[in-house]
Structure formats: structure tokens, C-alpha cells
Amino acid sequence: MNASAGVRPVHGKVDEQGRLVEADPPLLRLQERAGGVRGGALAVPQLASLARLTRRLGISISRRVVAANGEQDVDLWVQVKPEGPCVELAITGWQDIAPAPPQPGQDALRWRDFSRASADWIIETDAMLRITQPPANMPAAIGLPIEALFALTCDEAGVSRIAEAARTADRFEDDSATFLLGSGVPVRLAGVPLIDGIGHLAGYQLLISRRDPLIQGRGWTPPPPPLDEAFGSQLGRAMREPLDRIIANADIIQERSEGPVRRDYAAYAEDIAGAGRHLLALVEDLVDLQTIERADFRPEIDMVDLTDTALRAAGLLAVRASNHHVSIDGPLPGRAIMARGDFRRILQVLINLLSNAIRHSPEGGTVWIRCEREGDIAAIIVADAGDGIAPEDHERIFDRFERLGLRDGTGSGLGLYISRRLARAMGGDLGVDSAPMHGARFVFTLPAGE
């Protein structure tokens, strides 16, 4: 279609379930070339995202959109307005343009954008399908297998679709999964593989939407686990949900998934998303702080293999390390070092220590993790080759809200304080051995197990 076709608006209507129920011929052809049909889900990701945003905000939106139209791209000016339970589209300025050169993984990114347009919430896993980025109101889910949250569809051999897809680092869909917390909620899962810097599978981004048509499209989020203290509950309600939405919308702008935006706007959106994540991390740290400072706080003590836990922590942070051009040298698998402690809390301490080590390591540097036992003491050692810490600051860095050396605005200053409190609550300790320009060596000790 050429520019003259854009003189008369092209109209369409999208119902509350995201289906294109009415469409003028040009829009219907665009829908069919994107793989959709009349009456089916709106298959043009940019238009689907605009329709969803308009329905959520309840206001009219006008925006320039560039979409694929067969072998050509088409430049559109789209006006979207709510009309009862539906959304009406009016498209003008229909102009064919030369398509952008294809990029590696473009099909996967397009599929992800389309899936995100209908997703209610997003989580991420590592290559072993353990949760690395849980919903904002479920921080305790980190490190759990995906099966702890979802009952997945399996084949006759008992292999789930995500496990089958992970064998070849492929994307997948599961339309019959169930969210296990609460009364059991039917959901759809769409999985996008995350690939590390050397082309290996690093995990999955899971896009989740509820299958209940009465709820679908209304921004459903999973129910949070109950909190014992009013502070934590109030903080979650007041901060987590709005911050999560700010981050999600900023990511959409930064990734340009709803259409082209100016480079400075995209950079501004990236800054907003980064600030939102920092505030969310602070919220989680404050909730943890309140938990560990309760007089009745008691970790769940059990036998834990420190080598296995250290390898899990390294796997959870593999993508972050790759993004910082830092390698992680973990302990040799198979040599069990047993200790008495709370597995989740040990993992939490290790993730904090590794995150700090990655942040402070120079580009091209290495973070080392070693597990040792001496008598009745078991230890995990995390070392980096960063700027190091002066001897007079070795105790100060464990103070509350101490952000020594953090000039980039990251961190809440609570991570090491919480980590030491957790170590001591499990009968161990956390200390540091460091000197300026010689890196830092953190030693996390626990009572040795049998």
C-alpha cells in the first residue's frame, strides 16, 4: 500500500480479550501477513501493545508505529481510543518503507514482543530452570525450581514443554499450566530463551497470563505470600506494584517494542527502569531487615552442601557476570562440603557476596568461589580482583546503610549487614580480608555438618 492509501483512515476494533473483531481490508491484510486471522488475537505486536496500553489506562493514545507488512515495512500513524469494553483503531499516514536489515534472533524478539503484549507478569530462570527473577512480591522464590510455582504440561514420558525446549535452547508455549499458590490459577506460559555471551542457554524469560477470560487483560498479578508484620505488608502494597509497572513501561519504551522513539527518550527510559529496580531492591532489603531483626527470627537449620549451593549461586548470576565481562571461577563439582544452615538464607548471602564481587571487579576480571572445611568449621570464600578495602573499613562495611565505595548509585548499603546477621543467626560468621588495590576476600563460615 502506498502513501495515498493513508488519506482515508483505516479502522479496526479489538475486543477485551485482544481479538481483532472488526477490520477494514488494509488492516485485515496486515493482520493476515503477521500470521493472524479476523476474529483472532491481534497479531501485529506494536498495535497489540497500544491496544493493551489504552485499555489499561482508559485514555486515547496517538503514536507513530513501524510494522512489518510482508516483505516491506509500513509507517503508520495510529490513533487508539477506548470504546466500552473494546478498543477502536484509526490508522492514517500509511507509508511503505524499506525494511530494516534482519538481525540475529529477530524472529524470537518479534515473538517475545507479541507475547509480552498479552502477559500479566514476567519472571526469569537460569539454565537449570531455577527462578532468578521472581515476581516483585515473592522474593523468597529466588533459587526455586520453576515447578515450585507452576504445574506444567508434560508429554507421555513426563517431560515438560519448557524442559524439552531447554534441550535445544528454543522458545515454547504452555497453554495449560497452573499457578500453584493460592487456590490454583490456570495460566498460559510463553518462554523466550536467554543466551549468554558465548551462545549458550543462560535461562528463560517466562511471560505469564491468566487464562480466566473474566480476569484476562486486567493486569493480574500473583497473590503475595502472607507477611507476619504490618510494615512488610504495607510496604509491599505501597511500593512494589507501582514500581513494577514503572519498570515494565520504561522497559517497553527503552526496547522500542511499541514503535520507534527518539534515542534520548529511550536512554531516559533506561535510566527510569534502572532507578526503579534500585528502589525495588531497597524495598526487599528493608523487608529482610525487619525480618532478621525480629526477636523471634530463627533460620530453618538443615544439612546443606556448600559446594552445590555455591555452584547454584554462580549459575544464577552467570548472565550478570557476562554483561559485566567478568568470569566466575566456581568450586569443583562433586566435592561435597556439608554445613548446618538454612539453604535459602545461605543462597541469599552468596548472591549478595557474588553480586558485590561482580560489581567491583574490573572488566575481564575473575571472581573466585571456594569451599573448605577445617575441623568443625565449613567455609565459603568469595574473592575478587577489585580495588580492595582499607583495613580500617573492614568492620565499617558491615554497618547498616554503609555504601563504602559505591559511587555509581547502586546498592542500598544493607546487603552486607543483612548477610552478616544471617550468618551469625545460623551459628556462623562473615568477615573480610582485603587491602587497597589487592581485591577483597570474604569468608562466610558455618558449623560443619556430617
Same-domain pairing of 356 and 319: yes
User: Of 407, 413, 416, 412, which Cα lies nearest the Cα of 440?
Assistant: 416
Same-domain pairing of 315 and 440: yes
Q: Domain ends where: 77, 99, 121?
A: 99
Same-domain pairing of 290 and 319: no
Q: Are residues 82 and 101 in contact, defined by beta-carbon separation less than 8 angstroms?
A: no
The per-residue pLDDT for 394 is 87
The per-residue pLDDT for 157 is 77
The per-residue pLDDT for 89 is 92
Q: Are residues 9 and 91 in contact, defined by beta-carbon separation less than 8 angstroms?
A: yes
Residue type, 58: G
Same-domain pairing of 115 and 92: no
* Strand 201-210 to 366-374 pairing: unpaired
What's the CATH code of the domain at 82? Answer: 3.30.450.20
Same-domain pairing of 89 and 174: no
Q: How far apart are CA 89 and CA 28, in angstroms?
A: 12
Same-domain pairing of 308 and 379: yes
Q: In which residue ranges of the chain is pLDDT below 70? A: 1-7, 70-71, 97-119, 136-140, 181-184, 196-199, 211-243, 254-261, 264, 268, 274-275, 278-283, 285-287, 295, 402-412
User: Of 388, 392, 414, 390, which Cα lies nearest the Cα of 401?
Assistant: 414
The per-residue pLDDT for 56 is 74
User: Of 320, 236, 323, which Cα lies nearest the Cα of 284?
Assistant: 236
Based on the structure, what is the number of domains in the chain? 4
The per-residue pLDDT for 392 is 87
Same-domain pairing of 413 and 341: yes
Q: What is the DSSP string of 198-219?
A: TS-EEEEEEEEEE--TTTTTS-
Q: Could you tell me the pTM of the whole model? A: 0.46
Grid coordinates belonging to 106: 529477530
H-state helical runs in 81-155: 106-116
Identify the bridge partners of residue 122 per DSSP, sorted by sequence position.
207
Same-domain pairing of 197 and 232: no
Q: Domain ends where: 294, 313, 337?
A: 294
Same-domain pairing of 418 and 307: yes
The per-residue pLDDT for 404 is 64
The per-residue pLDDT for 426 is 93
User: Of 285, 347, 286, which Cα lies nearest the Cα of 126?
Assistant: 347
Q: How far apart are CA 144 and CA 130, in angstroms?
A: 5
What's the CATH code of the domain at 321? Answer: 3.30.565.10
Same-domain pairing of 374 and 413: yes
12 lies in which domain range?
3-99
**Per-residue pLDDT tens over the stretch 222-274:** 554 444 444 454 555 556 666 677 777 777 776 665 556 677 677 767 777 76
